[in-house]
Amino acid sequence: MSALPEGWVETTLGDVVERVTKGTTPKTFSANKDDINYIKSDALDYNGRLNVAKFLKVTHQVHEQLKRSQLKENDILLSMAGAFLGKTGLVSKEMLPANTNQAAAIISANIGVINHIYLWYKLRDNKTVRYFNSIPSQSAQPNINFTEIKSLPINLPSLPEQKAIADMLSSFDEKIELLREQNKTLESLAQTIFKEWFVNFNCPDATGEMVDSELGKIPKGWRVDCVYNMAEYINGAAYKNMHFSEGLKGLPVIKIVELKSGISDQTKFTETNLGEKYKIDNDDILFSWSGSPETSIDIFIWTLGRAYLNQHIFKVIPHSGIGKYYVYNMLKYLKPIFISIAKMKQTTGLGHVTIGDLKKILFVIPDEPVLKSYSDVIKHTYEKQFQLNIQIQTLSKTRDTLLPKLMSGQVRLETLEIEPSKEELHYDS
C-alpha cells in the first residue's frame, strides 16, 4: 500500500460521522402525492442518484411516528440489505420532509471533520462498493450491519482539500446532469414531432384524405400493423455464472443496470459467445421488457460499443423500409402502454412485456414518402441524442477513473489537468 500524502490521516467512517442508523418500514403508505416522501432503498443507485419516480408517500402522522428514520438535508443513504449493497443517494432540501426504510442506512457526516460530499463520493467509489459486497455470506438476503459500515477505511485529507476534491467530482456530475437535461429536451422534441405526424396526422404533404382502419380514420395510403411486425425482436441470452470471465476478459454482458447506469466494476464480462445474434454495438435499439415497470421498462440507444446482451432485453432491428428513427420513436411513444401492460402482470415488484403483447398492439405505418420525410426531419435530433449519450459516458468514465485516485491521494488536484472541456460539452441547439 502506498504511503499517504503528508497531512492525510487513515481513519474509519465511524470516526467521521455523527450517526449511522437505519429507517423503518411503516404498516401503511399514502396515495396522496402531497404527503411525506418515503425513500425506499430501491430508489438508490451506484451513481449516487435518487430516483424520485420510486419514492412512496406516508402521512404526516406516520412520519412523526417514525422519528428514527426522519431524514435531514445532506444525509447520505446507503443500501445495506438486498441483492445490491452499497448503492447511495444524497438527501437534498427539496426532498424534505422525508423518511426511509430499514434496508437503507442513514449516514450523517460530522461536518467539522469530513465534507459530506467528499464522504458521499467515497461511498460511491467502486472499491467501497466491492468492500460492502464482499462482507455478506451467501444468503437469500445479503446484508451489512452498522459495525461493518462504520469500519469502512477512509483516507482523510484536510477539509479544504476534501472540498476541492468534492468540487472537482461534482463538476463532472453537474455537466453530466446538464447533458441529460439536454437529452430530455431533444427526446421531448422528437416525441412532439412523432405525435403530431403519426397520432394527430398533421404531417407535411398530407393530402387530408382519410380512410377507415382498425385504429379509426388514418391518412389514405397508410396502413395498420402490429408493433411486432415492424421489427425483429431478439431477446438476450441467459448468461450464467459459469459463462463469466475473470476481470475484464472478453465483452461486457449488458443487463438493465448497464442500460441505466453504464458499464461499471459491477458489470460481468464473458469470453463465451452464445450466438452472434446476441452481440450488440453502437446505435442498436434496445428495449428492456422486464423488471420494475416504472423504472425498468424503457427503450434505449446503445452507445458503449461491442457487448453481449443478457436476457430480459430485446435487440430491436427495424424491418427494411420502416427505418430505425420511426421504430425507435414509436416504441418511445408507446412506453406508457408497455408500462401499463407490465403493471397488470406485476408480481413481487416485477412485470414484463412479451412478444405476445407486441403482436396485439397496433400502430400506423405511413407510406414511403412520409417515412422518408420523417427520417430527414428527425435524423439531426436523433444524432444529437446519440452524441450527447457518448459525452455522458465519456464524462462518467473519466469521473469514475479519477474518483479512487483522488480519494487515495494518488492524484492531487494541484497536478490534475483533466476536467470537462467547453468543447466536450458544446451543445448547438
Give the residue extent of every domain in the chain.
9-156, 223-365
pLDDT of residue 379: 92
Distance CA 151, CA 331 (A): 47
Phi-psi category of residue 262: left, alpha or beta, with phi > 0 → left and psi -120 to 50 → alpha: left
Sign of CA dihedral 92, 98, 103, 107: positive
- As averages over each run of 10 residues, the pLDDT of the chain (429 residues) reads 82 95 88 91 82 88 89 93 84 93 92 95 90 72 88 93 94 94 94 95 81 93 96 95 87 90 83 94 95 88 93 95 93 96 82 95 94 92 91 90 91 62 41
pLDDT of residue 13: 96
pLDDT of residue 424: 42
Residue 198 per-residue DSSP state: H
Distance CA 91, CA 106 (A): 10
How many other CB atoms are there within 10 angstroms of residue 106's CB atom?
23
Specify the 3-state DSSP secondary structure of 327.
helix
Let me know: does 411 contact 137? Beta carbons within 8 Å.
Answer: no
pLDDT of residue 427: 36
- Cell of residue 267, nine digits: 458489470
Please tell me the CATH code under which domain 9-156 is placed: 3.90.220.20
Q: Output the CA angle 69-70-71, nearest 5 degrees.
A: 110
The residues, any chain, with a CB within 8 Å of residue 331's CB and separated by 6 or more, are 227, 285, 287, 299, 316, 338
Domain 223-365 classification at class level? alpha beta
pLDDT of residue 140: 58
Residue among 171, 177, 155 nearest 411 (CA): 155
